[in-house]
Structure 1
């Protein structure tokens, strides 16, 4: 299940080193938090190469957003780079306020070079670890950072207070210009170059040449407990994460508390976050990031060995790990799983090839849901919906594939006639939705982390092979399933999610492997307005970027 989109299995990263800060405090009352984000190009050295990269405020990774539940957040983004820019606040629900969600040409047109836009949103009913990243082209390779949401003042955590906490952001590094790699590959009809290294908080560690000074270190004290806020910001790799000689206790995923469980390693897909306790260290392939683990008062204590992470194709571990993820489901943090379903959707995930006379082999890859490869518009979909602009998109995305087949049988070498279009699915306000995502054998089977904007959902079931609508729903967990915003669809398997469509607007859903998204593995839901005065999309801000 832990695989790369590069047509090979990948065991992930991992170990790390961390920077950390003390537990954060803030005023008792909800506040307005203001941030200035300047999109800049800065020359950065990693491995044996220095190159200009797109950054926020000249930092890689970018600054952490610290807020408390109930705060209003104003983030002014000024674009000084040569690329158009948009930023997505990954996992924030943005109730009625898709204008602040960020995906380019979905909820906004991008911020042009030399222009500014202020993202204005409230943090309501959420606390924990989320993150932000560029949501245009492949710019999130270097434009990303953490979001830390503390509970309201006086609201206790459902776990002991840690001594300190650390943000651990897992990423990738290319020695060259990522956008040039992608453009060249697209022109040839081939996948772009894979990254040259993985990183922890922007640093690859001492296993790489010329990287001695690019190793992140963390000092810890014996007998102390640390909370690690772990984020997978990698573009194309699901990762395992472990610490040699230490277990991790998972207490939260995607800013939702979970029933605690202890594990030697965690599985984390691109877009996902995991909070885990470590009481007071790494697997290696040729790109593994490492770090130094220093105990205070004990000199020369570095990691004596690397952790024994699961094998890259250890499906049993992946399924077992995900099965342990369950909602806390207490009176203070209930799991409000929809028990009655108004709309059942079944989406198949597939790959194919289409004609490309200018490409190296005369073809290029496409990816699809229900055999439809999504075509991005040149006008923001939310604007088109709000202002009733005609001809931008259709709302005829099929609820299920038109041509059923043996989805996970012998690999098929041809597509089933993949079509391209900007086709969305219209969902009635406040209706309950069950969506089954089914991997298929079209060209190849792979795992896929799917992210739904504007919502959390409950992962009520998952399995290997073809989903059986007559038998599999009987095995659903409708009591305490994990709640999150990004879920992995296992290789050659299926995942079922449920959510209530109570957030009006246009909401993107896509594979969070950037390569697959670029090939068209994406769609969007149009959630209709409801009957009440507070059940409709808010008016757009005056500084919304034009197309």
Structure 2
């Protein structure tokens, strides 16, 4: 009997740690098969690259603390990487999924496995391809729920619903590489165009709700290039998170999302039984910018038990309503008492003033270019236009001390001061300012340093909102406004108590934003405009965060399978390669 009791005790002791670990962290595993697929969300069939044959792609559900493993099998004709937008990638920067920044692209008929831990964040993020234009159809939701037993910091919803806003073209994906990119043919909600088009009238997403219940809407702007309004007829939304960071509840009847942003909002089904349009509407921030004829897509919120066939339509803002967009983006504050909140660091080690917008570069011979003076458009950050590396990914070059891949001299300010929001070419020097220098340019940051960036939008070509996305970090949004940033006037207005935190922020057209973050994540991290059309323009730079004082705060070597593509390409034979 004693031996049997010992067996029972030992059996329970073996089980307990396993059960406990499962309660707090698990391994979540997926396979992403990237291949061409024939879709018809609009009026004609179109061959598009997809993940697992769906648009949008599969939803990845994890809990905070879980380890995510995703096997990407590339059976498409395109080079591919998958970026986990907004995931910190703490000590796993090799898994960030940025083409020629952290990895070589996954070539056709090749495969790659992403493996990383999801720690210190909860809410809605998303994954998408990070090779130009492919994220138009290669994208999906990444939902991070609290650890088991930990409640949301808001009333528990009756149900949750994903709302993925997308942009659609009736053309081959290669045609989106044109500069400028062609206008889109439609907008989609969860892959469906709705009744904005006769041919898709019966293809409309419907959210069925029970009167009196609350629903958590996880809204993602997966559009390639478009800022979007979002509204539900006769209903208010209570915003509770932005970019997977909890906020103080903010009640609004309209939401605005730049490309790459996410919003978690509670919908209270408190109206009479019926059907209500859920609509996304294009927001155009640039004066005189062309936009498509069809600027909205419809879905439906349908009350269970409704008998009427009538549908209430929301009143929508004008597509150029910058004030409504600014009111939403600037009004929300952070939930200081919420999980994973980080106070604003007060001592700043690096101060950067970064002008941003469009410039020009020489038009290639035998081409007609649409830019000013007959040139083609280029991007500009402090008069630098980013050139993607062609030999080694930046992080590999940094880790192995390979020279000649990038420069580490990205400037803290533009070469000259000027009237940023009222630029006029009156001198030869100002004319030359229109032509930013093409470089693969990085800024070196000491580990654990606090960085403040003033992003100043310019009107050198046109003033428009640029959604700037920082990989590897969230940042505090301390303030934003219109016109030129003036420290003597604007520093006193900055919110150092409970600002919102984000990974992507739209810089107001002809305006500015002040960001602050702590560089506590070693590796190479892109900072770029999240309008895909602006990636080849070069509105990009990179931060290189140096190692900390201990192995636990230092970038580890890349996983062995990370290097397989390099061995195949014989890149290790490069004379400057220094084996780790």
TM-score (norm 1): 0.91
- In 1, are the aligned partners of 2:36 and 2:47 still within 8 Å (CA)? yes
- In 2, are the aligned partners of 1:37 and 1:75 still within 8 Å (CA)? yes
How many angstroms does 1:300 deviate by? 3.9
- In 2, are the aligned partners of 1:93 and 1:453 still within 8 Å (CA)? yes
Residues 164-204 of structure 1, C-alpha deviations (whole Å, 9 max, x = no match): 0100000101001131242xx2xxxx412111000001111
Looking at structure 1, the residues matched to 296 and 325 of structure 2 have their Cα atoms a distance apart, in angstroms, of 19
Looking at structure 2, the residues matched to 302 and 251 of structure 1 have their Cα atoms a distance apart, in angstroms, of 31
How many angstroms does 1:264 deviate by? 0.7
Query: Does residue 1:206 correspond to 2:195, yes or no?
Result: yes
Looking at structure 1, the residues matched to 312 and 486 of structure 2 have their Cα atoms a distance apart, in angstroms, of 48
Change (3 A) 1:151 1:283: closer
Q: How does 1:319-338 map to 2 (within 5 A)?
A: 319-330=326-337, 332-338=339-345
Moved more, 152-161 or 206-215: 206-215
User: Among residues 483, 486, 495, which one is paired with 1:465 in the alignment?
Assistant: 483
User: Among residues 235, 247, 256, which one is paired with 1:246 in the alignment?
Assistant: 235
Q: How does 1:299-338 map to 2 (within 5 A)?
A: 299-301=307-309, 303-305=311-313, 307-330=314-337, 332-338=339-345
Aligned to 2:182: 193
Change (3 A) 1:331 1:250: closer
User: Among residues 410, 414, 417, which one is paired with 1:401 in the alignment?
Assistant: 414
Looking at structure 2, the residues matched to 350 and 146 of structure 1 have their Cα atoms a distance apart, in angstroms, of 29
Query: Does residue 1:269 correspond to 2:264, yes or no?
Result: no
SS at match of 2:553: coil
- In 2, are the aligned partners of 1:430 and 1:502 still within 8 Å (CA)? yes
Looking at structure 1, the residues matched to 360 and 172 of structure 2 have their Cα atoms a distance apart, in angstroms, of 26
- In 2, are the aligned partners of 1:252 and 1:258 still within 8 Å (CA)? yes
Q: How does 1:177-192 map to 2 (within 5 A)?
A: 177-182=172-177, 185=178, 190-192=179-181
- In 2, are the aligned partners of 1:75 and 1:120 still within 8 Å (CA)? yes
SS at match of 2:200: coil
Residues 210-258 of structure 1, C-alpha deviations (whole Å, 9 max, x = no match): 1133211111111111110000000111111000010011000000000
Aligned to 1:363: 375
Moved more, 50-59 or 281-290: 281-290
- In 2, are the aligned partners of 1:350 and 1:371 still within 8 Å (CA)? no
What is the Cα-based RMSD across aligned positions, in Å?
1.6
- In 2, are the aligned partners of 1:455 and 1:485 still within 8 Å (CA)? yes
Looking at structure 1, the residues matched to 309 and 214 of structure 2 have their Cα atoms a distance apart, in angstroms, of 18
Query: Does residue 1:169 correspond to 2:168, yes or no?
Result: no
Listed as ranges, the gaps of 5+ residues in structure 2 are: 1-20, 270-275, 282-292, 570-580
Aligned to 1:295: 303
Query: Does residue 1:373 correspond to 2:385, yes or no?
Result: yes
Residues 244-283 of structure 1, C-alpha deviations (whole Å, 9 max, x = no match): 0100110000000000010010111100000001111247
How many angstroms does 1:125 deviate by? 0.7
SS at match of 1:121: strand
How many angstroms does 1:302 deviate by? 5.2
How many angstroms does 1:474 deviate by? 1.6
- In 1, are the aligned partners of 2:121 and 2:340 still within 8 Å (CA)? no
Residues 102-127 of structure 1, C-alpha deviations (whole Å, 9 max, x = no match): 01011111001111110000011111
- In 1, are the aligned partners of 2:74 and 2:110 still within 8 Å (CA)? yes
How many angstroms does 1:414 deviate by? 4.6
Looking at structure 2, the residues matched to 297 and 332 of structure 1 have their Cα atoms a distance apart, in angstroms, of 38
Looking at structure 1, the residues matched to 520 and 384 of structure 2 have their Cα atoms a distance apart, in angstroms, of 26
User: Among residues 333, 341, 350, which one is paired with 2:348 in the alignment?
Assistant: 341
- In 1, are the aligned partners of 2:423 and 2:458 still within 8 Å (CA)? no
Aligned to 2:287: none
How many angstroms does 1:49 deviate by? 0.9
User: Among residues 246, 267, 271, which one is paired with 1:278 in the alignment?
Assistant: 267
Aligned to 1:3: none
SS at match of 2:311: coil
- In 2, are the aligned partners of 1:69 and 1:152 still within 8 Å (CA)? yes
User: Among residues 508, 528, 532, which one is paired with 2:526 in the alignment?
Assistant: 508
Listed as ranges, the gaps of 5+ residues in structure 1 are: 1-25
Aligned to 1:28: 23
Q: How does 1:40-189 map to 2 (within 5 A)?
A: 40-182=35-177, 185=178
Looking at structure 2, the residues matched to 385 and 74 of structure 1 have their Cα atoms a distance apart, in angstroms, of 26
Q: Which runs of 4+ in 1 moved over 6 A?
A: none
SS at match of 2:417: coil
Larger helix proportion of the pair: 2
Query: Does residue 1:434 correspond to 2:452, yes or no?
Result: yes
- In 1, are the aligned partners of 2:228 and 2:280 still within 8 Å (CA)? no
Query: Does residue 1:453 correspond to 2:471, yes or no?
Result: yes
Query: Does residue 1:234 correspond to 2:223, yes or no?
Result: yes
Change (3 A) 1:480 1:415: farther
Query: Does residue 1:527 correspond to 2:534, yes or no?
Result: no
Looking at structure 1, the residues matched to 307 and 172 of structure 2 have their Cα atoms a distance apart, in angstroms, of 40
SS at match of 1:102: coil
Q: Which has the higher contact order (CA 8 A, sep 6+)?
A: 1
Change (3 A) 1:533 1:410: closer
Query: Does residue 1:543 correspond to 2:529, yes or no?
Result: no
SS at match of 1:382: helix
Q: Which has the larger radius of gyration?
A: 2
TM-score (norm 2): 0.86
- In 1, are the aligned partners of 2:132 and 2:535 still within 8 Å (CA)? no
Query: Does residue 1:480 correspond to 2:498, yes or no?
Result: yes
Aligned to 1:8: none
- In 2, are the aligned partners of 1:40 and 1:57 still within 8 Å (CA)? yes
- In 2, are the aligned partners of 1:374 and 1:523 still within 8 Å (CA)? yes
